[in-house]
């Protein structure tokens, strides 16, 4: 039997504090997602907005991917206490006639189901942590959206399958929250590094109409903010300033333009440095204790039983 391409919905474990250097993106995303949930009456009748997070346009290049798009989508779900369903565009493409379109519909159905019946979001610990904030909505995240929704008529598939997939996606976006006794909301967030490949109809109002660019960090200051966020849970007894110093030193040998993903390698490197330093201290302490012991043994030779 074929397994479903849909992962199950969950409450992600990413907080905004885990993300560095993206304050304005954070505000935009939170406003777009949270305000209509907080003030539903105010937003009644107005067009819904989907968000498109896009990375550096052009060919995927080393150092320019991993700029925090997935992290941001997860953080907004977490902070609003919404179930999160993540799908990579290509995973929905099937080989049978009509399979891809059915998979797109199934993704929205799964998100609606999660909005009605949030998995694990109503547990006591979440309620206490204040994360179970809103109900009746879920976040559906489409990674690599370009592979699911390329420009119609230009895909090179003679059978028009991709055109039908795009039409199905548009239909789902337009019908979201309409009908039913108790309509639930599916908040869509798309991510791509090739926004230029998308069918333009996807970007119309009410669809993916809030476009947010996430690029690599280009200044040391921006890099440092990301590194500080990534290492915030490191046990570093010498304090925040010392952590900053270690991170600055770890950055020295790196080029100035780095993505968040590259920086996580720097953070691990810094962690290793920190660990090595601790190991060295432990070793020094051990050899000091050993030599003290030897000395006291020499003064008071062990004359006990063997």
Query: Looking at 32, 33, 54, 67, which residue binds ligand ATP (CB under 6 A)?
Result: 67
18 in Cβ contact with 169 (< 8 Å): no
Site string for ligand ATP, 137-166 (x = CB under 6 A): ------x-----------------------
Q: How far apart are CA 76 and CA 51, in angstroms?
A: 12
Encoded one letter per residue, x for contact with ligand ATP by CB under 6 A and - for no contact, window 96-135 reads ----------------------------------------
Q: Which is nearer to ligand ATP, 36 or 66 (CB)?
A: 66
Residue 222 is a binding residue for ligand ATP (CB under 6 A)? no
CA distances from 58 to 65, 144, 146, 196, 213 (A): 11, 14, 12, 8, 13
3-class SS at 51? strand
Rounded Cα–Cα distance for residues 32 and 44 (Å): 14
Q: What is the DSSP letter of 251?
A: H
Question: In this complex, which beta carbon is closest to ligand ATP, that of residue 68 or of residue 274?
Answer: 68
Name the token pair of 212: 């947010």
Strands 210-213 and 51-54: what pairing? parallel
E strand or H helix that includes residue 297: helix 260-299
How far is Cα 54 from Cα 239, in angstroms, rounded to an integer? 36
Task: Candidates 13-21, 117-125, 168-176, 194-202: pick the segment binding ligand ATP (CB under 6 A).
Answer: 13-21
Query: How is residue 206 annotated by DSSP?
Result: T
Query: Does the protein bind ligand ATP through residue 264 (CB under 6 A)?
Result: yes
With contact defined as beta carbons under 8 Å apart, do 216 and 225 qualify? no
The yes or no reply on residue 247 touching ligand ATP (CB under 6 A) is no
Q: Which of 5, 6, 30, 70 binds ligand ATP (CB under 6 A)?
A: 70
CB-wise, 102 or 261, nearer to ligand ATP?
261
Q: How far is CA 186 from CA 23, 106, 195, 233, in A?
A: 25, 13, 22, 33
Nearer to ligand ATP, 15 or 116 (CB): 15
Q: Does 21 bind ligand ATP (CB under 6 A)?
A: yes
Q: How far is the CB of 282 from ligand ATP (least distance, A)?
A: 28
48, 69, 185, 207: which one binds ligand ATP (CB under 6 A): 69
- Candidates 63-71, 149-157, 174-182, 242-250: pick the segment binding ligand ATP (CB under 6 A): 63-71
Query: By the criterion CB under 6 A, which residues form the site for ligand ATP?
Result: 19-22, 55, 65-71, 143, 191, 193, 226, 229-230, 260-261, 264
């Amino acid at each position: 039997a074929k397994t479903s391409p849909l992962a199950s919905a969950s409450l992600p474990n990413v907080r905004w504090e885990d993300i560095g250097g993206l304050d304005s993106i954070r505000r935009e995303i939170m406003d777009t997602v949270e305000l209509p949930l907080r003030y539903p009456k105010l937003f009644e009748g107005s067009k819904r907005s989907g968000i498109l997070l896009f990375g550096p346009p052009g060919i995927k290049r080393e150092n320019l991917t991993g700029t925090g798009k997935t992290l941001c989508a997860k953080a907004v779900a977490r902070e609003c206490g919404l179930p999160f369903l993540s799908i990579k565009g290509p995973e929905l493409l099937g080989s049978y006639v009509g399979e891809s379109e059915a998979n797109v519909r199934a993704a929205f159905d799964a998100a609606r189901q999660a909005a009605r019946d949030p998995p694990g979001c109503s547990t006591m610990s979440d309620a206490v942590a204040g994360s179970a904030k809103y109900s009746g909505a879920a976040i559906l995240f489409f990674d690599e959206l370009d592979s699911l929704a390329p420009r119609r008529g230009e895909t090179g598939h003679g059978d028009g399958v991709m055109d039908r997939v795009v039409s199905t996606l548009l239909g789902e976006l337009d019908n979201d929250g309409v009908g039913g006794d108790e309509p639930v909301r599916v908040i869509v967030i798309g991510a791509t590094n090739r926004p230029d490949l998308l069918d333009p109809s996807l970007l119309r109002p009410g669809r993916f109409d809030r476009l947010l660019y996430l690029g690599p960090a280009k200044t040391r200051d921006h890099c440092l903010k990301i590194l500080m966020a990534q290492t915030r849970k490191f046990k570093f007894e010498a304090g925040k300033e010392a952590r900053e110093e270690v991170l600055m030193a770890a950055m020295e040998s790196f080029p100035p333009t780095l993505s968040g993903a590259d920086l996580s390698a720097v953070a691990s490197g810094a962690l290793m440095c920190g660990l090595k330093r601790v190991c060295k201290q432990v070793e020094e302490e051990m050899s000091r204790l050993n030599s003290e012991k030897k000395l006291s043994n020499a003064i008071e030779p062990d004359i006990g039983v063997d």
